[in-house]
Each structure stands twice: as C-alpha cells, then as structure tokens.
Amino acid sequence: MCGLITFVSNNRGAASQRDVIAQALETMHHRGPDETGVEVVGSDVVFAHKRLSIIDVASSHEPLPYAEGRYLLIFNGEIYNYIELRKQLMQEYGARFDTEGDGEVIVAGYHYMGPAILDRLRGMFAFVIWDAKERVAFAARDPFGIKPLHYVSTNDGVYFSSEKKALLPFAPAARAGDAGLDHANLSHYLTLQYVPEPGTLHQGVQRLGSGEWLTFRPGAGEFATGRYYRPVFSPRPVPQPEVLYRRIRETLRDSVRMHMRADVPVGAFLSSGIDSTAVVALAREFNPNILTFTVGFDVPGYSEIDVAQESARHLGVTTIPTKIGPQDMMDALPKIVWHLDDPVADPALVPLYYVAKKAAEHVTVVLSGEGADEFFGGYTIYREPLSLSAVTGLPEVAQKGLRSLARVIPEGVKGRSFLERGTTRLEDRYYGNARMFSEEEKQKLLRRYDPSVRYTDVTYPIYAEAAGLDDVTMMQYVDLYTWLRGDILVKADRMSMAHSLELRVPFLDREVFDVAATIPVELKLPPRSTETKFAMRRALEGVVPPAIVNRKKLGFPTPTRVWLRGEMYDWAHHIMATSGAGDLLDLNYARQLLDAHKREEADHSRKVWTVLIFCIWHAIFIARTLDPGVQRAQSALLTKPVVGSMVS
C-alpha cells in the first residue's frame, strides 16, 4: 500500500471529514491504483488509502486490524524481514496472524512490544497505528527516510499523508497564496536546491523526520515526537581488509535477496556506475531473468546507455533503454513538479521520471542504487578534507594570514578558492552536495532577503551530533540528514510513484549501514588516489564487470547546460514570464543569468534551473495558473458515500 491519509479528530468529529478526505485521496491515485478505501472509525479517526499490491496481493486490506480490532494500521512501504519477524513474534509472544502480508508484523509487534518493534523492522515504511483502547495514534518513519510522511496539526486534530498535496485542503496557510509560503525554506531551497526537512514551502505542513516516531492523544491534545534511530559512524582500523571486503559483499548480497521479496515482477535500474550495476549483478543471482532499464540522451557525453548495455551483456540480463530530448523534458516538468509537492532543482529528476515510466510498463517493483555514496564515501567532494589538509593543519595564525591573502587574489584566479576553503571551518564551508546561490546572490534574487536565515540553521545541529568524527565521515553524516533525504530519496519516491512503480534501495539497509559505518577513511578514499568508495569497489571485484569497478560516477547526467543555450532558452523565458513569482524573486536578475549563460559568458545552468523549477512550482501551487496535465482519478468510492464503522 503506497498512499495514505489519516485524520485523528480532536473533538470526535471524524465523520464530518470523510468526504473531503476521499476527494483529497484522489490526488494520490498514482501511488496505489490497485485498491481504494476510506473508513471512518467511530468518531475518532478516518483512514484513507491507495494500495499498490506487492505482497499478499489478495489479502492484507487496510486499515489492517489486530487484537480483535483494538489496533488499526495504515501503512506505506515494505518490511523485508517480515517472514523472520512473524516467526519471532509467534515464538516469543504466541502472536497469531490472519494474513500473509508484511504489514501485520508491524501492528502485531506494536501490540506485544510497543515502539520497540521499530528496532526490529528492516525495510522502508511510514505508518499510523490507532489504539482504540488507549485512544492514541502512533506514527513512525523508516530509519533513513525512504518513505515520506507529512502532517498538519490543527484545532480539529492531526492529518497525516504520504504526499503534501493531499493535506493542502486542511492547511489554512495553503489557501493564503504567497502569504502562506515559508520564506525561510524558500531561502534554504535557493541555497540547497531542495527544501530541508522537517519543513515544507507551505507554513503549517511538516514532515516527520527519518528514524522518528510521533504520538497524538485526541481530546487531551497531547502531541509528541522523538527519534528511535540515529546512524552512528564508528570507523576503526582494519588489520585484514579482505575480511571487511567479504563482509561488505555478503551483507549487500543478503540485502538484495531480501529486497527481492514480492508477489509481483521485480526489475532494476541500470546506469553506467558501480552502484546500480552491483545491485543488478547480485539480483541476477536470485533471478537470472531480471529485466533492467536505463536512460540517456542524444547529446555527446550525456548518455549512459552504451555502457549500461555492455554491462547487461556481461551479466547476461536484458536492458530496455529510453532516450529523451529537450521537448520531452519541457513536456514532463509540470507533471514532475506537481508530483514532487515541493521544488527539487535536480535535473536528474527528468531521466528518472522517464526510466520509471518505461519500467512500469514491464514490472511493479524496481531495485535501485541510492545510498551507496553516503554510506561508502562515493562523492568526489569527500576528498576535499584530504586535499586541503596542507592548509587546515596549519596553526590559526598562519591560516589567518592565508585568509587575508585570499581576499586580494582576484575572483576566478587559481588558488583563491583553495585558500578560502582551506581556512574556513568544515561546519562553515560544507552544507551538502548542491551549492546553488550564495548569500550575496540571494540578496539580488530574493525580494524579501533575510540575512538571519542561513544554511547553518539546517546544518549546525547535525554537525553537533557528528562531533568527534573525522572530517570525511562528518560530511557523510551531514549528507544523510540533508542531501540524501532532501533530494535523492524525494526524487526516487516521487518519480517512481508517479508511475505506480515501487522503488527499493538495497544499500539503504540498517545491516548494510552497520558494516559501512566501520570503514576507516583510508579504505573509503585512499590518500594517494582519486578513487572513491574504495572498500566497496574492492568488495565487488568479481561481482560487477571489470570495466565498471573503477568507473567514475555519472548518475543520470542531463544536458540542461546545453539545452538552456538552445532548444530550451525561449521556454525558460516563458516560464519566468508566466509564473507569477515576480513578487518573491527578482526575475530580471534571473533572466540576466539565463542570457549570460546563452552567451557562454559563464555556466549558470544550475542556478537558472533552480529558479525555473520554483517558477513552475509557484504557477501550479500558489498562482494556480499552470495545469500540470496530470490525469486525475475518480474512484468509485466517491460516488458511494457510505461511512464504515469499525471500532468505537
């Protein structure tokens, strides 16, 4: 089941919300076209769901009852160790089960263990449990934030949903136009290219954080959140590297095996890099006929299709390619932004959207390689602390002199950036993989620039948790809580779900992390090498094709730099002119960047793209002048306003 709305009433008025919730649910039909339901539970709760049937297809209907109806569960995601958990609960507690699905182990585990069941769940999930006896709602989200859970707290009660758009009818700020926009998060978006959790661009709509739980007691209005999981890196010396490499390989193999559990066809994405190739190579051990899917462009240097096809031939699997052009990108962007809910200015969204569309024609589930870079040290920027060590290791007085020298070196001259970054604390220079607009540039772009809003508002608390780690591992920790869950997993979830396709990420597994967390820096990033993910690459020798083991990461590159100078230039001007975002952004400044980019005076493509995605978002969700062209569902339940009564 992959789309949920739950309302917990503060004043026993659940039934009055049934019809409007049913309408809101239809905005998420893409998340679960196989089954639709809306249930009113006494006067307290409304459960609404859209199910994509993956496991126990004929049963496991939601909301799922347990303990003679005391508990009701609504659940998005998959629990991969549900078979093992079922046996454990039966042996330890005498638990009984009425289904063959994975959802029942969550609610049964909660009955016997309370919130402690969260530590036993191996999977991706967002769920809400209603305990009718104690009259309390309990919600939780998976450790790494793979599956989303939004909520709105009002005087009437608390609303939960898999997607923000379904909550907008219940969020007063959403009806206030620009006045309901969160300007601090707009500023963060322009820096980071995504809106950082837990907020959104709509005031009053929040996201439950990765590895967090939430409880709400209606009537009393008791509302609380907490964290049950925090990834702890503990790098340590490795006397026998081969032992570590074998452990990495076998843990990944086991994770892939678990992630292939399904009662429907499972495929995989395949790019030119080691992450997706490793997943495919391990998956074919369990299904030699697994279908794979790749995407590319007819622009030199921007297509991974040829390499992916060569890897597929080496592994003996079939890959189905998709090619897209500039018109495909322009046609899809309004739909993409609508599915995102909040803007994410990552151009890789577009190829991901199209490869997911192609995959959905053949399979219901795909495996993908997200998370490997954050776990194993895969980003080139992670080498920066090593390259800057000649400066960062100097006494403060020497660094102060070099900092002064950097100021007199002209902008763009080689050496200035090196000295600036080398004499700046990691906490002040690193805030993730994406660096869009500087504070000086945002002063020109934002109509309401607030100098008190800085990216450090997002990152400083994370750095505080990572105190004591080496700089490289600290960067990994920051990315787990910023880049991974703000960009990587948002685009993975939304672009796959847009086509009713479930995307699974075997690298983002607690047992895989437990291994990766022990790797010392020298086995992630060898000091006299340009290689990244060294230990993981050594572990996968003999598993992936030799040409891929040391191949540089690309990750669905997109030719926006080329197309914004050509085929997409007029379109970009039109988007800015018709977005209605001129009261928030100085679009004349943005047009100057676009025109300078066209004249090849500088590469402003990422900055321009960041503005364009926000303009499309504004036109859809604020000005409401742009129809994204998404086909809206109208399920039969909307014409049958029958209120179900279950547990009172």
**Under a CB-based contact definition with an 8 Å cutoff, are residues 3 and 162 in contact?**
yes
Catalytic residue among 1, 2, 152, 260: 2
Instruction: Round to whole Å and give the CA distance between 210 and 504.
Output: 16
646 secondary structure, DSSP code: -
Neighbour tally for 642: CB within 10 Å: 8
Extract the tokens encoding 256.
């892939």
Extract the tokens encoding 93.
């507690």
Q: Is 615 a catalytic residue?
A: no
Nearest alpha carbon to residue 94 among 86, 84, 102: 86
| Cβ within 8 Å of residue 417, ≥6 positions away | none
| Cβ within 8 Å of residue 297, ≥6 positions away | 303, 323, 324, 325, 351, 558, 559
The amino acid occupying position 270 is L
Extract the tokens encoding 554.
């690309």
Instruction: Round to whole Å and give the CA distance between 168 and 9.
Output: 17
DSSP track, 239-252:
S-HHHHHHHHHHHH
Nearest alpha carbon to residue 368 among 469, 255, 229, 262: 255
DSSP track, 187-241:
HHHHHHSSPPTT--SBTTEEEPPTTEEEEEETTTTEEEEEES----------S-H
User: Alpha helix locations (H) across 284-348?
Assistant: 305-315, 326-340
Place of tokens 């591992």: 473
Nearest alpha carbon to residue 535 among 272, 123, 312, 236: 236
Nearest alpha carbon to residue 221 among 155, 276, 292, 139: 155
Extract the tokens encoding 640.
């049958």
Distance of CA 445 to the CA centre of its chain: 27
Catalytic residues, by residue number, are: 2
